[in-house]
A and B are shown apart, each in its own frame.
Chain A
Amino acid sequence: AQKVTQAQTEISVVEKEDVTLDCVYETRDTTYYLFWYKQPPSGELVFLIRRNSFDEQNEISGRYSWNFQKSTSSFNFTITASQVVDSAVYFCALSEGSSNTGKLIFGQGTTLQVKP
């Protein structure tokens, strides 16, 4: 069965600190996709990144970076020099590669609070 675990329920940091959000997943598929979404107070989930299981290269996009390690089934997300606008709930999600549904299995989410 597929499962995504985000063990950190809430994280609070002061602006300009770096912060890492952890994500651990379980799947029996050899082909799968991992996602991160951001949910601000407005409620709309915003796509951040998609990574397939064959691409273990880390990715950096501005202040955001992602570390994908198949050996530990983890897909962690780091925000460098956090800002107040980064405050939101962040979700890690998994999608089966063997099906064509595009259905996502979400983790419980991590609430990030960035204080000025």
Chain B
Amino acid sequence: DTGVSQDPRHKITKRGQNVTFRCDPISEHNRLYWYRQTLGQGPEFLTYFQNEAQLEKSRLLSDRFSAERPKGSFSTLEIQRTEQGDSAMYLCASSPGTGWGNEKLFFGSGTQLSVL
């Protein structure tokens, strides 16, 4: 069990550029979540996958955001035409997803995005 890993840890970009983050969940975890956390706030849900299917997206996830989980393994979160308001910590979490929901989530260390 190597834990949830996220790459990169930090990303600095200029407004208008596209960025992509990667998350590798714990092996054999069926569920994968993306959250966003701004300074001084708790994480906010963005989206989640059950295997390769994206089952729910928050209204926070504008059209500029897209997430994928091909083959139900790692996931990517892409932000197109970044804006300064996108600056935040992007957290990935996974859970076994073998039973009813509400299992505990295992979080990665996050990707800190700064948009200049």
The answer to whether A100 touches B48, judged by C-beta atoms less than 8 angstroms apart, is no
* Among candidates A52, A100, A108, residue contacting B42 with C-beta atoms closer than 8 Å: A108
Kindly state the separation between the CA atoms of A97 and B103 in the bound complex, as whole angstroms: 11
The answer to whether A50 touches B100, judged by C-beta atoms less than 8 angstroms apart, is no
Pick the most buried of B56, B97, B101, B112: most chain A CB atoms within 10 A of its CB.
B101
Q: Which residues of A contact B55 (CB under 8 A)?
A: 101
User: In which size bucket is the chain A interface?
Assistant: 20 to 34
**Interface presence of B108 (CB below 8 A):** yes
Kindly state the separation between the CA atoms of A20 and B38 in the bound complex, as whole angstroms: 25
Give the distance to chain A from B102, nearest Cβ to Cβ, in Å.
Answer: 4
* Among candidates B48, B102, B108, residue contacting A95 with C-beta atoms closer than 8 Å: B102
B contact residues, total (Cβ < 8 Å): 28
User: B-side interface residues toward A, CB under 8 Å?
Assistant: 31, 33, 40-45, 48, 55-56, 89, 91, 93, 95, 97, 100-110, 112
**Interface presence of A35 (CB below 8 A):** yes
**Interface presence of A103 (CB below 8 A):** yes
**Interface presence of A55 (CB below 8 A):** no
* Among candidates B42, B97, B102, residue contacting A106 with C-beta atoms closer than 8 Å: B42
**Closest residue on chain B to residue A109 by CB atoms:** B42
Q: Which residues of B contact A9 (CB under 8 A)?
A: 40
**Closest residue on chain B to residue A4 by CB atoms:** B42
**Interface presence of A42 (CB below 8 A):** yes
Q: Which residues of B contact A79 (CB under 8 A)?
A: none
Q: Which residues of A contact B102 (CB under 8 A)?
A: 33, 50, 52, 95-97, 102
Q: Which residues of B contact A95 (CB under 8 A)?
A: 101-102
